[in-house]
Structure 1
Amino acid sequence: MDINFVKLQGNGNDFVLIDETDGAGTVIPDEMKSDFSSLYCDRRFGIGADGILFISRSNRANAGMRLFQPDGSEAEMCGNGIRCLAKYALDMDYVEHRCRVETKAGVLDVEMSYSKDGDFTAEIDMGKINFDRPDIPASGSGDFVEEIDGFTVYAVNTGVPHAVIFTGSLDDLDICSIAPKIRHHKLFLQGTNVNFVHVENPGEIDIRTYERGVEGETCSCGTGSTASAAIACKTGKTGNKVLVHTKGGPLTITISDDNTAKMKGPAETVFSGIISV
């Protein structure tokens, strides 16, 4: 059996995409998707990726998206992943430059363009930012702030749960030692992604993210960038338009007065291949 795949990346956050839009439907049976992701996300014994994207047909939108992570878990959605999936769908003529993508976190609007130099950009309507975290019993009504292991931690949901911590320089921060204590803290019933943020000025922040499911630092996290910009704006550290510098490149996050967010950034196709099993 041959399985076609495409490798894509958004600011260094990389994905293997499997197309399940054909009439035949499922390429990888649902009960095998978790193990498939663990196997082929491995960077030494597999293709290597931060997740496996599955694109499918949708009754509610122009395309459907599912994301399975290296630990085998399924994420609700992914900001960089949806840009990669949207690029693939546009290149395959599955969608127009404006489309809607169904995720487990809801249906999101996407607007895409190519520059005259061939650079791809997508702006995603990330929807309502949830400062009242239902998965944290103590959150009450409003944003959640807690002292954990000596850090002031803000919690917010931007499609997936995030913790945001403001700090000084990020250069020497050993986040792979610090973040797991917060990622697995008992207050976060679903676990959480952990973002460390340095505010450059009212219009820019630097960010490093430890991702749940990857269980390590990634080059970029779209929902984490959105979460960090949202908390920075809400606490008065920045304005409502924030240039977020991730290790893999910049993203632009815009927060509206009604606490909805838009994320703008690139995506690139890296290569395509065939898995023979």
Structure 2
Amino acid sequence: MDIEILKCHGSGNDFLLIDEISNPYLFSEKQRADLAKALCNRETELGADGILFVLKSDVADARMRVFNADGSEASMCGNGLRCVARYVCELLGKPNALIETMKVNLLVEKEEDLFPEIPTYKVEISPVSFQLKDLPLTLPTDTLIAEKIPSLSEDLTFTALAVPNPHLVAIVEAEQLESNLQLQLSGYVNGPNPLFPDGVNVSFVKPLGKSAIFVRTFERGVGFTNACGTAMSASTLVTCLDGLNQKEEAIEVYNPGGKVRCVVHETNGQYKIDLIGNGTYVYKADVQVNEADYNQFTVNQTKVFTAETEQYAKLEAHAKEYIAQYM
């Protein structure tokens, strides 16, 4: 099986993009999951946090399906959506597009560069729900906003929300961020546990300067990532609810892989978030996969985007310098 892939990333959250609009691939559901587990393996020549399958859509300009490195399918992926946004807009020669995702059709559009010479796209993150049944989270209440879960921590307060991926967010101090607490909590709620039957993304948020935060996320099905787009969006909303930041104002969101910008909008009690950041191409490659064993494959890089990679490294350096002032 010969597959053309595009290695790309949003805030260092990296993906293998497979174009099913231009290519006549016919993957079964099992093949999609098996390809994700094989090609995303970090011990191989490729390695990634997931695969973005870009397909034709009957209701939008394109459809996005996201398979995590463990073979599970995610309902949404903000960083991946930015990469798909760039790819589809360039493929169709349009400045904006409508992308069908698992639960909702989302608007995407080209945006002014977040950092010099960084291809930047704005994507809509919605719908937002605080109903615990939508995560799901099993507690004797309908919502959890800035409250404790004693079985998880005696000190932290949590907010649970779906955007539509499930997220558990805590605003923390530097000492808590530097400890093993997030790893321990994340391992517990993503294993057999009485709270989250399907697991959950866990984010620790540290306020930085004015209208700036740092977010680190343990992503369900992946582990710690350089960034998680829906987590950064959810975390930004949580800081607005907490009074640390303001709705309708641009908030700089720093992460281990760089930075994005988020804006929270509220209309009649309903929220949506603009997620603005890079969609960077790393390389294109032809991958020859052994159909009898997907773990056996060869990679031939056909185009390397050196200038994009080097420019993004400058953004990363800028982000690290800023973060260091507050840690």
For the criterion TM > 0.5, the same-fold answer is yes
Aligned partner of 2:195 among 160, 177, 187: 187
| Counterpart secondary structure, 2:173 | coil
- In the other structure, the counterpart of 1:66 is 65
Matched position secondary structure for 2:233: helix
Q: TM-score, normalised by structure 1?
A: 0.91
CA deviation string 1:31-54 (max 9, x = no partner):
211111000001112510000110
- The SS at the match of 1:149 is coil
Tell me if the contact between 1:66 and 1:104 (Cα under 8 Å) persists in the aligned partners: yes
1:267 to 279, 301, 313: 279
Inter-CA distance 141–179: structure 2 relative to 1 (3 Å threshold): closer
1:62–1:99 contact (8 Å) kept in structure 2 = yes
- The structure with more radius of gyration: 2
- Does 2:229 align with 1:222? yes
CA distance in 2 between partners of 1:41 and 1:110 (Å): 26
Question: Which AA in structure 2 matches 1:263?
Answer: L
Partner of 1:76: 75
Q: Is the alpha carbon distance of 1:153 and 1:183 closer, same or farther for their aligned partners in structure 2, counting shifts above 3 Å?
A: farther
Q: Which of 144, 149, 152 is residue 149 of structure 1 equivalent to?
A: 152
Pairing partner for 2:255 from 246, 267, 277: 246
Please state how far the C-alpha of 1:96 moved relative to its aligned partner. 1.4
Partner in structure 1 of residue 86 of structure 2: 87
Query: Paired residue for 1:13?
Result: 13
How many residues are paired up?
Answer: 274
Identify unmatched segments of 5+ residues in structure 1: none
Retained in 2: the 8 A contact 1:183–1:194?
Answer: no
Deviates more, 1:123-132 or 1:245-254: 123-132
Displacement of 1:128 after TM fit?
A: 3.1
1:234 aligns with 2:241: yes
Native 8 Å contact 1:167 1:198 kept in 2: yes
Q: What root-mean-square deviation, in Å, do the aligned CA atoms of Structure 1 and Structure 2 show? A: 2.1
Matched with 1:133 is: 132
Partner of residue 179 from structure 2, selected from 173, 176, 197: 173
Rounded to whole Å, the distance in 1 between the matches of 2:178 and 2:138 is 34
More strand by share: 1
Secondary structure of the residue aligned to 1:6 is strand
Shift of 1:257: 2.3
SS at match of 1:42: coil
* Letter paired with 1:86: A
TM-score by length of 2: 0.78
Q: Secondary structure at the residue paired with 2:53?
A: strand
CA deviation after TM superposition for structure 1 residue 176, in Å: 2.9
5+ residue gaps in structure 2? 290-327
Q: Indicate whether 1:36 and 2:43 are aligned.
A: no
Provide the C-alpha distance between the structure 2 equivalents of 1:253 and 1:74, rounded to a whole number of angstroms: 25
SS in 2 for 1:257: strand
Separation of aligned partners in 2, 1:186 and 1:42:
30
Query: Is the 1:202–1:239 Cα contact (8 Å) retained in structure 2?
Result: no
Cα distance in structure 2, aligned partners of 1:128 and 1:202: 27
Aligned to 2:319: none
The aligned runs of 1:117-132 (5 Å cut-off) are 118-132=117-131
Amino acid at match of 1:168: E
Contact conserved, 1:62 with 1:95, CA < 8 A, in 2? no
Identity %: 31
Quick check: 137-146 or 75-84, which moved more? 137-146
CA shift for structure 1 position 140: 4.2
Matched to 1:67, the amino acid is: V
In 2 relative to 1, CA 117–227 (structure 1 residues): closer, same or farther, beyond 3 Å? closer
Q: Deviations over 1:11-60 (max 9, x none)?
A: 1000001111137352x322211111000001112510000110000011
Distance 1:238 1:183, change over 3 A: farther
